[in-house]
Structure 1
Amino acid sequence: MKLFRCQACDNIVYFENRTCGRCGHRLGYIPELGLLSALEPGGDPNWTPVGADGAPRRFCANADHDVCNWLIPAAEPDRLCRACRHNDTIPDLSNADHVAAWREIEFAKHRLFYGLMRWKLPLKTRAEDPEYGLAFEFLADPPDPSTPKVMTGHDEGVITIALAEADPTELERRRTGLDEPYRTLLGHFRHEVGHHYWDVMVRDGGRLAAFRAAFGDETPDYGEALQRYYREGAPSNWRDFFVSAYATSHPWEDFAETWAHYLHIVDTLDTASAFGLSLAPPIDREGAHKARVDFDPYVSGDMDQIIEAWTPIAVAMNSINRAMGRPDLYPFVLAPAVVKKLGFVHELVRGEAAKGELSAGTAEARRAAE
């Protein structure tokens, strides 16, 4: 995640900020520019970005509930921004607890969209693609405790997130109950959207053979594979071949877990780069713990360069967490076989990004010719 600057006073501001803490200017994110901008009133409901393109914009309708700070061009008919228009089901707005949980969920979802849009990955809504468009359902557990709880998951482009996952106590209960060293709302989004992009970019993108060479045959029954995993657990040597124990359950889950970790790594390196983070421990005579993120991991660097930067940064983050009495921030070891799978995701994402840039360039050239 990038750092941003208030165009009115030069204060550093952050992705979720609604106002500048120094000058008080209203802030809004312009997704097509990748810019968090200070705003001047432009006549209700419009705002004028300071120092951007000057085009009037208005806030997403979900800003009324303080769950979104993204902007829409004033001339567009949409009420919802490019992230919120993928919402199919939102919580009951008459319930204050549900709205609070939804707010936390949207913070995570918008961070997901920041990365997907930087890569120019395909993002069709259900209205644009009724069969495979990306949609979200944010659901509360039923009031009757004897009925099944909402399960977070994915089904043909529809991602369901249980509101209970926004409750820190419930999230920790599920994390420990399922023996997961890492469980977050953002992690859920990145994992579940990995299933969606497997459908779009692997299954329907002509990459099944390459996928099977990296992750194995996905045709064995998925339900039976999950039952076996929950009954027997992961093999004892899973760390040599998989990024997590759950990734051993089925090649689809292996891909989704690997996809999520790739997104974790790239966005964390992007944040490290924004802060100018570098590591050079004086005691490290061999240089194994040195790192400098002097490249944009979203657009440059091969997988070897990304891992070379990531490994010492992950060690440093874990050490800092331990100094605060907290568990490791990244409790995973990336074996060579896992790095190879991450490389598959890297090539998949970069390939789509290149196609997106080519398509955007063609459209721009066409507009210029007209």
Structure 2
Amino acid sequence: MKRFTCQSCGQLLHFEDARCDQCKAPLGYMPEHAILSALAPQGGGLWRPVRGCGNTALRTFCSNHAYDVCNWLVPPTEEHSDFCFACQFNRVIPNLNIPGNMERWRKLEIAKHRLFYTILRLKLPIKNRRQDPQEGLVFDFLDDSPDGAAPIMTGHSNGVITIATKEADDAYRERMRVEMGEYYRTLLGHFRHEIGHYYWNVLIRDGGRLEKFRAIFGDDRMDYQAALQRHYARLPQNNWREYYVSLYAMSHPWEDFAETWAHYFHIVSTLETALSYDMTIGPIVDGQATLTHKSDPYLLMPFDDIIAAWLPLTYAVNSLNRSMGLADFYPFVITDGVRTKLRFIHDTVREVQQAAS
């Protein structure tokens, strides 16, 4: 994530901010420019980005701005659209008549918009359900039924990503993290994992990369349900970290890819944030920490430079968390086996970027 500042007063901003805390200027995110802009009202629901924001054509807010769950603007090229780029992929939102669901939806949208920031920064192809009625991307945020039967499970199927609304409850999510023996479980992590399944279909299955994938991740043709049953019935081997970034990645090649894909998103997004705040930490040379590569991890940094910057950063931030009595910021290990899988995803993303340029 980039570092954002208010163009009216210079105050540091967060990606989700809808108003500057200092000068109170309304803010809107322009996804086509990756800019969070201070806005000047023009009447009739129209807004003009202030100076220094590139294109200052009039824009409207996404319709979901009225619910305080979205601060994105609709580009002038889509002036007849009610929804921004990120919200156009919603198919089902939480039932807002259920107490607490307004706040749950807000948390879901924060995570989803950060997902789309990364997708756009990586210049990945994406189609909605109108563009591809069979396998276009769509999100369903679903509540469990009142009688408790057939609880909603988070997952992906042919472009449909289902997120259980209850995952926005911190207590529930933490309980499930402990019960499932997971080191990490967040809403943003769910979105990044499930979008990995979508991109497996788009970039691997339909992108001519199946054989390369199978050589690294294994044969995806093995029975999925049987593989899951075997996974949950057995104890993990002590050396599982040599090849898998998480325990769940062991269950099936599809899940291995999705977990590794999510970690690639974790890395490039967090590394961009660190670099934008000049939080670069490199290897020790002659007793001094050297600066790491300063270019764009989304588009320019070579894979080896990304890892060289990422690993010392995680050591430092894990140590900071421990100093505050918190759990590790990054409770994972990037071994040679995991690095090979991350490199495959990096190379795939760069191939797509080059083909689109």
TM class, shorter-length = over 0.9
Equivalent in the alignment of 1:30: 30
Is residue 106 from structure 1 mapped to residue 109 from structure 2 by the alignment? yes
Equivalent in the alignment of 2:266: 264
Equivalent in the alignment of 2:190: 188
Amino acid at match of 2:224: Y
Amino acid at match of 1:190: R
Equivalent in the alignment of 1:199: 201
CA deviation digits over 1:286-344, x for unaligned, max 9?
67975535121011121111111111001111111111111111111111011010000
Alignment of 1:1-370 (within 5 A): 1-51=1-51, 52=53, 53-74=55-76, 76-145=79-148, 147-279=149-281, 284=284, 290-356=290-356, 358=357
Residues 231, 182 of structure 1: CA spacing in aligned structure 2 closer, same or farther, 3 A cutoff?
Answer: same
Q: Distance in 1 between matches of 2:316 and 2:287?
A: 14
Amino acid at match of 1:37: S
Structure 1: 5+ residue stretches without partners: 359-370
CA deviation digits over 1:84-138, x for unaligned, max 9?
0000111112334111101000000000000000111112111110011010000
TM normalised by structure 1 equals 0.93
Contact residue 19 and residue 27 of structure 1 kept, 8 A: yes
Q: Distance in 2 between matches of 1:162 and 1:288?
A: 47
Q: RMSD value over aligned CA atoms?
A: 1.5
Q: Distance in 1 between matches of 2:100 and 2:247?
A: 33
Contact residue 234 and residue 249 of structure 1 kept, 8 A: no
Amino acid at match of 1:127: R
Runs of 4+ residues deviating >4 angstroms: 284-291
Q: Distance in 1 between matches of 2:243 and 2:288?
A: 23
Structure 2: 5+ residue stretches without partners: none
More deviation in 204-213 or 235-244? 235-244
Q: Distance in 1 between matches of 2:288 and 2:9?
A: 40
Aligned residues: 354
CA deviation digits over 1:344-369, x for unaligned, max 9?
0001111112223x2xxxxxxxxxxx
Q: Distance in 2 between matches of 1:37 and 1:189?
A: 26
Residues 262, 223 of structure 1: CA spacing in aligned structure 2 closer, same or farther, 3 A cutoff?
Answer: same
Residues 287, 278 of structure 1: CA spacing in aligned structure 2 closer, same or farther, 3 A cutoff?
Answer: farther
Aligned-pair distance for 1:266? 0.6
Amino acid at match of 1:193: I
Q: Distance in 2 between matches of 1:161 and 1:286?
A: 49
Contact residue 2 and residue 271 of structure 1 kept, 8 A: yes
Amino acid at match of 2:98: N
Q: Distance in 1 between matches of 2:6 and 2:294?
A: 24
Amino acid at match of 1:64: A
Aligned-pair distance for 1:73? 2.9
